[in-house]
Amino acid sequence: MRMADHGKYVDKNMGGLISDLQKLIRQPSVSAKNLGLKECAGLVAKIMKNAGIKAEILHLGEKIPPVVFGEVRSKKNPEKTLLFYNHYDVQPEDPVDLWQDPPFSGRMRGNKIYGRGSADDKGELMTRIKAVEAILRTTGDVPCNIKFLVEGEEEVGSMHIERYLKKYRRKFSCDGVIWEFGYVDENDRPVISLGMKGLLYVELSMKESVRDAHSSLAVLIENPAWRMVEALKTLRDDKGRILVKDWYKEADRFTREEIGVIASEPFDEKSFKKEYGINRFVGGKKGLEIKKAIVGSPTCNIAGFSSGWEGPGAKTVLPSRALVKIDFRLVPRMDPIKQLSRLRKHLKDNGFGDVQVRMIHGEAASRTHISDPFVGVVKKAANESFGRSVVSVSSAGTGPMHSFSKVLGAPCISVGSTYIYARIHSPNEFARIDLLKKTTKCMCLIIENFGAGDTV
């Protein structure tokens, strides 16, 4: 039985997908607050079992969020295994007052389901589970072994995922990984992403005096906020280029083949600027430079700056401390630990040795090569389900893809249902129902193509 049977099942049972997604959204699972994680893991396992997927909950320790492992063994092709990686944790709902509906309501209006996690990543997870259910219900078997790894720490950096992969390596062994998300562009084309950037997330802090003082004493006491601003100005120029010595030394350069793919990727500059209310890009980038930057340029971003009075009205205070959070996006071959060392040396060499640097999280970048046969499997399925697709060398975001590639030795590819302006990580996050349906059918085709060894 081919796609016609699976497709009819998906069409007929979209109500079940929507209902289960709403249940997941209504179960808060905020990893940053350690809220509802065990409860949500249990709910995911229950939904898997109802779909015919064997599920168990794996642990590393009482205080570490559990991983949900799902599996369906193939009777006709037990030698080949496809793994779906997803996460059940979500971002905090703040600021709550900007939501049109309660953030964990799962409210459906028209073609959209609203709520934290509707797109990132509970909606994506449901497309994978329901695809396996559709195949099982229509054929009684799956074309290859199917496995699920659903973690609860992705939104806080997947700190323990490599430990899970190593401890349960045999459980998670596979021949290919479908990543936890995938964007759909303004023209409803799925973007097949072959990699993810890495990340170095640090906290810079500076303490000048033993306590906050009256601001009239600024003629005598150094203001740590000014010192921090001066230190930050040494890190990056106005075009976005990082000024730390040897920062780009190991950074992987694009091959001619990759540049060709990047050049063919669509990017609507006007639409992007309109969505975010901006008039220009960093450094005045245009055309191909924009596309190359998105998929392959390191970044230095101030994620937060805290010092002194931040409440309403005026308070004439001279702060005693200043704190800044910075995330550096990395590209393949850039080692987070080596980059951290370079950052510390840079600050010291430039007269800011008093700035304390604390590493919060580090993750290496990863890419699957364009010529890998797995790319053809996914592209063929996406083209059939959506009518057309776009291949991207890498996502601009970060995830633990490098750990999967290193420990499991399997290619990883992102494809999914998340509309590019679905407001993930923001108030009023939503999933489009039509894209959930197309992606569920796409997952059915990926499973079939992978099991059959098909490519484009």
Tens-digit pLDDT profile for residues 331-341: 999 999 999 99
E strands, 142-241, where?
145-151, 176-178, 183-184, 191-193, 195-196, 198-207, 213-214
Give the integer Cα–Cα distance in Å for 187 and 390.
Answer: 11
Side-chain-side CA neighbours of 280 within 13 Å: the count stands at: 6
**What is 198-251+298-363's CATH number?**
3.30.70.360
- Contact (CB, 8 A) for 407 and 99: no
CATH H-level, domain 3-194+367-452: superfamily: Zn peptidases (3.40.630.10)
Structure confidence at residue 2 (pLDDT): 55
- In sequence order, the 6+-apart residues with CB closer than 8 A to the CB of 355 are 204, 205, 206, 227, 228, 231, 347
Segment 394-410 mean pLDDT: 95
Kind plus residue range of the DSSP H or E element containing 403: helix 401-408
Helix (H, G, I), strand (E, B) or coil at 115: coil
What does the domain layout of the chain look like in residue ranges? 3-194+367-452, 198-251+298-363
Structure confidence at residue 266 (pLDDT): 86
- In sequence order, the 6+-apart residues with CB closer than 8 A to the CB of 314 are none
Instruction: Give me the percent of the chain exceeding a pLDDT of 70.
Output: 99
**pLDDT band at 453, cuts 50/70/90?**
confident
Give the integer Cα–Cα distance in Å for 405 and 364.
Answer: 11
Structure confidence at residue 4 (pLDDT): 73
Residue 418, by phi and psi: left (phi above 0), alpha (psi -120 to 50) or beta?
Answer: beta
Structure confidence at residue 455 (pLDDT): 59
Structure confidence at residue 320 (pLDDT): 97
Buried b (16+ CB within 10 A) or exposed e, 8-19: ebbeebbebbbe
- In sequence order, the 6+-apart residues with CB closer than 8 A to the CB of 198 are 329, 330, 331, 332, 334, 336, 362, 363, 364, 365, 366, 398, 402
Average pLDDT along the chain: 95
Kind plus residue range of the DSSP H or E element containing 432: strand 430-432
**Residue 380 reports pLDDT greater than 90:** yes
Segment 44-50 mean pLDDT: 98
Dihedral sign, Cα of residue 293, residue 294, residue 300, residue 306: positive
DSSP-assigned letters across all residues of 219-269 = GTSPPHHHHHHHHHHTTB-TTS-B-STTTTTTPPPPPHHHHHHHHHS---H
- In sequence order, the 6+-apart residues with CB closer than 8 A to the CB of 170 are none
Count the neighbouring beta carbons within 10 Å of the beta carbon of residue 226: 14
Side-chain-side CA neighbours of 307 within 13 Å: the count stands at: 23
**Residue 246 reports pLDDT greater than 80:** yes
Count the neighbouring beta carbons within 10 Å of the beta carbon of residue 48: 25
Q: Which is higher by pLDDT, 455 or 63?
A: 63
